[in-house]
Chains A and B, each alone.
Chain A
Amino acid sequence: MDTKICLPFDVEKFCELKVGQKVLINGIIYTARDQAHKRIVDSIKKVGLKGKTKNFFDFRNQVIYYTGATPAKPGKIIGAAGPTTSYRMDVFTPLLLKYGLKGMIGKGERSIAVREEIKKHRAIYFIAYGGCGALYSKCIIKNDLVAYPDLGCEAIYRLEVEKFPVIVGIDTKGNDLYEIIRRGKK
């Protein structure tokens, strides 16, 4: 059975989730990928970890989804919206975790630095099914633009999701599913 969680309320329960566990997400997640990460990090560097700037969305205690959806067809909420490869965000992620980000959804391995920060801040990394953009499209019931509209598909959107399937990739204790598989423990 898949474990159901509701975001952002259940961020407190992340410590109960174990690496490799299948999870269905309900609730709110925010999209951000390469260019949005770059801007977020630039903003944080300008104002410091405690500060806040205009046109900046507060992602503390929230979960970010690495995706850039295809345009919605008329009358639809969103197009295909599967995960993009996470390692490209690795250079930005430690700072975001320090600022208060609680979780990430993407695909593929993370750097050791990211894994360490996840453990330190008791955050989590979820793996979404790569290439399954159509499948995830069906799980998204609301889609609102939040920041950086000029970035188009790379802008930050607030998504309301329902039964959004993921797997725990790195749990709050820093256990890494890919590493476990590579070592043949699973």
Chain B
Amino acid sequence: MRQINTDVITETVKNLCIEANYFLSPRVLKLLKNAYKTERENLSKQVFSRIIENCKIASKLKIPLCQDTGMVLVFIRIGAQVKIQHKRNDAETDLEAAIQEGVRRGYKEGYLRKSVVDPLTRENTQDNTPAIIYTRNVPGDKIKITLSIKGFGCENMGKVKMFSPAAGNGEIKKFVVETVKKAGANPCPPIMVGVGIGGTMDKAVLMAKRSLVLRTKSLVKNKKIKELERECLEEINKLNIGPAGLGGKVTALGVYIKTYPTHIAGLPVAVNISCWANRYREIEI
């Protein structure tokens, strides 16, 4: 067994919160720079140069890219050979508490906005906790933490629909494109579109969200799914929403689909949207 102290997890989560908010991932930045070259209109180009300038300022001054420093999602994969070592032997130092403490410290020490409130009283929790945590057990002796910062300008624009199994790819595509069309300028385009197809209602939404953490290489092997991604992207970029919703060729930087087997009676489809500032970090301990 390999022992990992909860303190290490807290410190890691803290750093990931700060880094994700200050520095846009090189992969997303590259997509933005390529999109800048694609645009021809004066106003659309202007939006891209402001965005790229913003990223430079944020990393130089070490301040958040966007004032909406979001809600934190933590996807954690724990190897079977890992033993989480608690510093003290009390319930306060379990894995989830260690993650929440990391978020608490990250948002305090990184001067990030605390945007988390009670859903009904709207009372602020004052430290941006709780984060939303998804845990998976995997083989091996490592812990992999994937942290995603989700602002709500784009989160509010997501949708889920329970289709009839009779629905085909055409209807799925229409739903994805319509969702983006309705969102218009609100989710800060150019956006990234996560699509979850199959599973149960919750699984579809989770897949849509998870697929927004971009990989350097697409995990999609199935040709038909790749084709569907490409078709959706093409249709979306014909909408002329463009960067900041001011018209242009690039409304979305990418469409990313994940699928999972579903029930004979159903076909859940979820669409989750990320603003251009798709902020995430991944690390293996």
B169 contacts the other chain (Cβ, under 8 Å)?
no
CA distance A68 to B246 in the complex (A): 23
Residues of B within 8 A of A184 (CB): 240
CA distance A109 to B244 in the complex (A): 11
A127 contacts the other chain (Cβ, under 8 Å)?
yes
Report yes or no: A134 in contact with B277, Cβ–Cβ below 8 A. no
Binary per-residue interface labels of chain A (101-117) against chain B in the complex, 1 for a CB within 8 Å, 0 otherwise: 00000011100000000
Interface residue SS majority, chain B: loop
Report yes or no: A132 in contact with B64, Cβ–Cβ below 8 A. no
Shortest A73–chain B CB gap in Å is 5
Report yes or no: A73 in contact with B111, Cβ–Cβ below 8 A. yes
B57 contacts the other chain (Cβ, under 8 Å)?
yes
Residues of A within 8 A of B185 (CB): 107-109, 130, 178
**Interface size range on A against B:** 35 or more
B79 contacts the other chain (Cβ, under 8 Å)?
no
Report yes or no: B63 in contact with A132, Cβ–Cβ below 8 A. no
Report yes or no: A79 in contact with B245, Cβ–Cβ below 8 A. no
Residues of A within 8 A of B156 (CB): 85
CA distance A88 to B267 in the complex (A): 32
Residues of A within 8 A of B244 (CB): 107, 127, 129-130
Residues of B within 8 A of A69 (CB): 67, 113
**Which of A116-154 touch B at CB < 8 Å?**
127, 129-135, 137-138, 152-153
Report yes or no: A132 in contact with B240, Cβ–Cβ below 8 A. no
Q: B46, B50, B68, B184: which contacts A135 (Cβ < 8 A)? A: B50
List residues of B whose CB falls within 8 A of some A CB: 43, 46-47, 50-51, 53-55, 57-58, 61-69, 111-115, 122, 124, 153, 156, 184-186, 188, 240, 242, 244-247, 275-277
Extra A-B contacts (13), CB below 8 Å, given A68-B67, A82-B66, A167-B43: A72-B111, A73-B62, A79-B111, A80-B64, A80-B67, A82-B67, A84-B68, A131-B275, A133-B58, A134-B55, A134-B63, A135-B57, A181-B245
